[in-house]
Structure 1
Amino acid sequence: MLRPLDYALRNIVVRGHLKLIDPDGKSHEYGDPSAKTVIARIADRATERRIALNPGLNIGEAFADGRLTLEQGTIYDFLEAILQDLDPYEWPRWTRFIDSFRYITRWIQQYNPAPRAKRNIAHHYDIDGSIYDLFLDPDRQYSCAYFERPDQSLEDAQLAKKRHIAAKLDLQQGQKVLDIGSGWGGLALYLAQSAHVDVTGITLSEEQLKVSRERAEKSGLARSVDFQLIDYRALKGTFDRIVSVGMFEHVGVNHYRTFFRKVYELLADDGVAMIHSIGRFDGPGTTNQFIAKYIFPGGYIPALSEVFPPIEHERLISTDVEILRLHYAMTLRHWRQRFRASWHTLSERFGEKFCRVWEFYLAGSETAFRYQGLMVFQIQLSKNQDALPLTRDYIFETERDLRRDNAGDMKQPAGTAK
């Protein structure tokens, strides 16, 4: 075992129990023997060196290529054993140099003009949609659910998320609503159906656009919901409400002022906007190298300290801020379990390596929300302080009314995604 890797693991693995078998077949034990045991094997010396040199990228690549294998436990168990007590400063110094260099140069990776933004979105979303049917809920909500109780099903928690957002928007019948990054259309259709508003949904994914329009037609909401393939920067008009869920992570830190300037331009004087995004507790950072390379090129998870300055600069007022702490970890656990349950089907269609890449992405993301300082924030914005009721009671009252309605004929989302 390479000394730097052995030293790092002895300092990192505390509550977990990891047995790592090196290329010579020798077993090295780390952590608390009374804890759940995870046994992993490194196939060769080159893989061992790569993991020691740059674990942020090479652990995932080694797992995807079958050069890091789990003989007991799952890749989630392996990552949990390492990450639950991880202090980044315990890794060898050269790994911190790599992270520092990536931070200094992150503006290059996050430079997202419209053509590049479309290519980045296509990388993840313009693929065979049957993948998402196998691990998302039927509405294809591909963002953090809102768990009103720990034992809530994924379907109910995603419906609760839509209720929560609708309540915060304080919707009034007949209003014009903009959904920036409308995905497969589930939120836009929900808002139109539950609040009788007109919704414009915009996306850069041609596959999502196709599905969204089909769902609008199927549900009889095509006159109320208009889905468009357009970059937010090119959109014109005025909207009473603006919502964006899970899109801000794709904007890029270089473009935050542009994004919020556009929100200001599009928002009516008495309008309300709500931005739902993954965030980080521990200040500005960089995108995980594996995620940036294989899953979300051009993406970045911001700290609140990076979000509020452009909001303030563009003269928007932050009227409400909520932090959802473990909700995304719980969401990802459902997705990961469903993904693993569909492994045979997925591997037949896309191959074993594809499955390992996505399992690592889901497992790594879940551990990041549980142990590495990621969360979700919802920031409500307006142009003036009188745009919303004085207290937050309206949110709870609206959610209560929507919950009553959802228990009836809206239990199944309109035009369920296929």
Structure 2
Amino acid sequence: MRMFTRRGLMAASATLPALSALPARPRAQGAAPTLRIGVLADFSGPYRDTSGPTSVVCARQAVADLGLDTRGIKVEILQADHQNKADVGLGIARRWFDQDGVDAITEVNNSAVALAVANLAQEKDKVVLASGPASAVLTGERCTSNLVHWTYDTWMCANVVGKASVRAGNDSFFFLTADYSFGHQLERDTTAAVQGAGGKVLGGVRFPFPGTADFSSFLVQAQSSRAKVVAMATAGADTVNCMKQAQEFGLTRRQKMLALIAFICDIHAMGLPAAQGLLLNETFYWDLNDRTRAFLGRVRDKTPTNWPNQEHAGTYSAVLHYLKAVADLGPAAARASGRAVVERMKAMPTDDDCFGPGTLRADGRKIHPAHLFEVKRPEESRGPWDYYKLVGTVPAAEAFRPMGEGNCPLVRS
């Protein structure tokens, strides 16, 4: 993990006046407290479409759907760009907690940023609704009593997609890995899943993150490996660029490109001719059932060029459940202790239009089914964003790492 220096944090703080975080406002005597939720995400980098503005829309939709204003509870949604830098994200979170009256931070779609913010939230007794990061250590050895982890993680993605590939006969792997904590964890988890299923790993290469746009040298190494599968331990724009360049190099004619983590916006950016046949998993798809279609109907006009993916749905679901717990606990008590809110969240069953009924475990892991999809051929699509064919569904109890295997201190105690 990156070391955080005083100079680095001061530099991060210097960027904060340009952010949309608002100064704390005095509260009228006797008025109900205003809850503040900060969406800390990528608004300008390679993960902008997988998180960013659409996550803000989904967080606000959760507030609207619950209708807390009718109960006298006010909620404000703030947003800021962590720039995929842990020191920048940590500086924003510190200001939000110390100066701007923020009670919970959501999204945090960078594992290094999420780990740093999780430690700070525990220190300040605030809440992290981690709907965007993928590292499974967040509910493993680095779990805290102030963080919940929604949507997906590296263990889930590795096991759902990696094992399915080996079972289909694609049993030798070469990794293209983003060189930071998310990519490393995803590669490790997938390696374990592949080897456990009887497959083998022939090698891998790590590329600098962020900032890599030319994947040609890495793809040449993948091609030379003669592995049946080139597994992309990437996300967002990196996945899109890598997939497009792989097609240009002809890799897709001889090797199977596997997206360990991919999103519907990635498929939209690639286009069906380039992405057809790609195997991937998401825990949410807008056309999965009547409830997911109803959710899309409420947000589509607010984000017409970037329909929600699993990460956006996770932000909606996490914020909705957090606000239900706040309403149950009472806003004053909720603002006084983030730990108490998380305890109440774990005690309450989850249910929403994105994921249906679910469970929030003692280690902070939200579990729900995971779905394996294949990208449609162009002639199979009925229109914009109709991209997936459902291949299979992994039940919630099997989709995520067993709680006893994560070494979470909350479970051992």
Question: TM-score per shorter chain, which class?
Answer: 0.3 to 0.5
Q: Which has the larger radius of gyration?
A: 1
TM-score, normalised with respect to structure 1: 0.36
What is the TM-score with the length of structure 2 in the denominator?
Answer: 0.36
